[in-house]
Amino acid sequence: MIKTLFHYWRSSSSWRVRWALELKRLKPTMVHVNLLEGESESPSHLKRNPMGAVPVLETDGGKYLIESVAILEFLDETIPSRKLFPGDAYQKSHIRSLVEIINSGIQPLQNLSTLDYLSEKDEERVKWSRHFITKGLFAYEKLCNNTAGKFSVGDEVTAADLFLIPQLYNALRFNLDLKTFGVLEKINQNALATPEGMASHPDRYKPV
């Protein structure tokens, strides 16, 4: 059903999908698209995704699925075991809210192409990114305070964690201290210790 994942090792959006594939026990061919060398803007990749971004998931039927939220929803519909958006309508909506805080409230603002457009100066790029990451993570923490167990919503990894953990990894790249977000730091430790969290981690995909 699933043929190929086009991804970049350090891309947080790619990590979300790699993690989902691990939870669904799917093993597509992994194709590395080097963002730093402009490979996502190549004509062949733009045919897969006109936004020039990763991840892209190719199905057996040759369809290209883009946008990590859409990909996770597709996986949940086609492989209902090990739901990424589990629970009743209220809980599903809560998980989506957490997902969107990161997917639309943080990640696009600190994405490579946004920062390239913003400034060439490292200190401006870092200041901007730290602002939006901090604001979003504080909101995330407030929202998940009442639902967090070992993970963002109870004691099972959900889509929310698949967005949170890669974003925390990016926060560290911008030298933010995760202790500022106590609940999230604990969730981070728990999620990174899961087999699927480890198997999908950027370090496992770093080109040699």
Binding site for ligand GSH (CB under 6 A): 11-13, 35, 40, 52-55, 67-69, 103, 111-113
Q: Give least dist CB 146 to ligand GSH, A.
A: 26
The structure tokens listed for 57 are 């998931």
Q: Give least dist CB 38 to ligand GSH, A.
A: 8
The CA distance from 83 to 23, in Å, is: 9
The alpha carbon dihedral of 204, 69, 98, 152 has a sign of negative
Closer Cβ to ligand GSH, 112 or 183, answer by number:
112
Closer Cβ to ligand GSH, 58 or 67, answer by number:
67
Q: Give least dist CB 190 to ligand GSH, A.
A: 23
The CA distance from 120 to 122, in Å, is: 6
Helix extents (H) in 33-177: 43-48, 68-78, 89-103, 112-118, 122-144, 159-173
Q: Give least dist CB 12 to ligand GSH, A.
A: 5
The CA distance from 135 to 171, in Å, is: 12
Closer Cβ to ligand GSH, 88 or 120, answer by number:
120
Q: Give least dist CB 151 to ligand GSH, A.
A: 20
Closer Cβ to ligand GSH, 119 or 182, answer by number:
119
Is there a contact between 71 and 19 (Cβ–Cβ < 8 Å)? no
The CA distance from 127 to 125, in Å, is: 6
DSSP state of 164: H
Closer Cβ to ligand GSH, 55 or 197, answer by number:
55
